[in-house]
Structure 1
Amino acid sequence: MSVRRGLLACVAVASVLTAAACTDDSPSPTPPTPTPSTTAPPEELSFGVVGPQDVQRAFRATVDAWNLDPDHVDVEIRSWPTQAAMRSAIEAGAAVPDVFMSSRSDLSWLMENSLIQPVDELLDDRGVEFGDTYSRESLEAFSTDDHLQCMPYGVTPTVIYYNKRLVNFDRMRARGLDVPDADATSWSFDQFAAAAEFASRPARGSKGVHIDPTIEGLAPFILSGGGTVFDDPELPKSLTFSSDSSKGALERTLELLRNPQVTLDETQLDERSAVAWFQRGKLGMIAGNRSLTPILRQKNNLDFDIMPMPRLDGSATVGDVTSLCMSAQTSSASLAADFMVHEISADWVGLVASTGYLQPANVEVALSDDFLQPGRKPEHAAFFNTGVRSMSAPPLIDTLPELEETVAPSLEQLVYGVGVLDLDTITTEIDDASKPVLDPESVTDSASPSETPSE
Structure 2
Amino acid sequence: MRRPKALLAALLATVLVATGCGAGPGTASDGPVRLLVFGAPEELAAYRTLIEAYGQARPGNEVQLIEASDRKDLLARLATSVAGGAPPDLFLMNYRFYGQFAAKNVVEPLDERIAASEKVNPADYYPVAMEAFTWGGQQLCLPQNVSSLAVYYNRTLFAEYQVPEPKAGWTWNDMVGTAIAMTRDDRGVMVKGTESEGAAVRPAVHGLGVEPSIIRVAPFTWSAGGEIVDDPDRPTRLTLDTPTGREALKNLVDLRQAYGVVPTDEEVEAEDDESRFANGRLAMLMSSRRSTTTFRSITGFEWDVAPLPVYQDQVGVLHSDAYCMTRGAKRKDAAWRFLEFAISAEGQEIIAATGRTVPSHIGVSQSPVFLDSSQPPRNATVFLDTVPTLRTLPTVSTWPEVEDVTAGILENALYRGDRLDDVIRALDEQTRPLFARGEHG
Report the TM-score when normalising by structure 1. Answer: 0.76
CA contact (8 A) 1:123 1:337 kept: no
Aligned to 1:365: 364
Q: Where does the alignment leave 5 or more consecutive residues of structure 1 unmatched?
A: 1-38, 174-178, 442-455
Aligned to 1:76: 63
Aligned to 1:246: 245
Distance in structure 2 (CA, Å) of the matches to 1:228 and 1:57 = 39
Matches within 5 A, 1:200-215: 200-202=183-185, 203-204=187-188, 205-215=204-214
Most deviating of 139-148 and 261-270: 261-270
Q: Larger RCO: Structure 1 or Structure 2 (Cα < 8 Å, ≥ 6 residues apart)? A: 2
CA shift, 1:381, in A, is 1.4
CA contact (8 A) 1:56 1:79 kept: no
Query: Once the two structures are superposed, what CA deviation does each residue of 1:414-436 show, in whole Å capped at 9, x if it has no partner?
Result: 32345xx7433432222122223
Q: Secondary structure at the match of 1:105?
A: coil
Distance in structure 2 (CA, Å) of the matches to 1:87 and 1:253 = 29
Distance in structure 2 (CA, Å) of the matches to 1:413 and 1:303 = 33
CA shift, 1:300, in A, is 0.7
Distance in structure 2 (CA, Å) of the matches to 1:291 and 1:101 = 14
Matches within 5 A, 1:325-344: 325-330=324-329, 336-344=335-343
The answer to whether 1:196 aligns with 2:179 is yes
Matches within 5 A, 1:13-412: 46-50=33-37, 51=39, 52=41, 53-68=44-59, 74-81=61-68, 82-93=70-81, 95-128=86-119, 130-168=121-159, 171-172=162-163, 185-202=168-185, 203-204=187-188, 205-330=204-329, 336-412=335-411
Q: 1:169 to 1:215 in 2, by over 3 A?
A: farther
State the number of aligned residues: 389
CA contact (8 A) 1:167 1:198 kept: no
Distance in structure 1 (CA, Å) of the matches to 2:27 and 2:218 = 51
Distance in structure 2 (CA, Å) of the matches to 1:427 and 1:167 = 36
Q: Secondary structure at the match of 1:240?
A: coil
Query: Once the two structures are superposed, what CA deviation does each residue of 1:27-56 show, in whole Å capped at 9, x if it has no partner?
Result: xxxxxxxxxxxx996555614142444123
Distance in structure 1 (CA, Å) of the matches to 2:88 and 2:270 = 40
CA shift, 1:409, in A, is 4.4
Q: 1:127 to 1:107 in 2, by over 3 A?
A: same
CA shift, 1:134, in A, is 0.7
CA contact (8 A) 2:109 2:139 kept: yes
The answer to whether 1:428 aligns with 2:425 is yes
CA contact (8 A) 2:229 2:238 kept: yes
Q: Secondary structure at the match of 1:102?
A: strand
Q: Which has the larger radius of gyration?
A: 1
CA shift, 1:312, in A, is 0.8
- CA-based RMSD: 2.9
Question: What is the percentage of aligned positions where both structures have the same residue?
Answer: 23
CA shift, 1:286, in A, is 1.0
Distance in structure 2 (CA, Å) of the matches to 1:332 and 1:276 = 39
Q: Secondary structure at the match of 2:312?
A: coil
Query: Once the two structures are superposed, what CA deviation does each residue of 1:169-225 show, in whole Å capped at 9, x if it has no partner?
Result: 99345xxxxx76xxx544222321222122112343222112222212222222222
CA contact (8 A) 2:219 2:315 kept: yes
Distance in structure 2 (CA, Å) of the matches to 1:415 and 1:216 = 15
Q: 1:125 to 1:40 in 2, by over 3 A?
A: closer
Q: Secondary structure at the match of 1:77?
A: strand
Q: Secondary structure at the match of 1:167?
A: helix
CA contact (8 A) 2:27 2:330 kept: no
Distance in structure 1 (CA, Å) of the matches to 2:35 and 2:305 = 31
Q: Which residue identity does 2:376 align to in structure 1?
A: K
Q: Secondary structure at the match of 2:377?
A: coil
Q: Secondary structure at the match of 1:161?
A: strand
CA shift, 1:357, in A, is 1.8
CA shift, 1:67, in A, is 3.6
Aligned to 1:25: none
CA shift, 1:296, in A, is 1.9
Q: 1:398 to 1:362 in 2, by over 3 A?
A: same
CA contact (8 A) 2:97 2:400 kept: no
Distance in structure 2 (CA, Å) of the matches to 1:405 and 1:165 = 36
Q: Where does the alignment leave 5 or more consecutive residues of structure 2 unmatched?
A: 1-25, 189-203
Q: Secondary structure at the match of 1:106?
A: coil
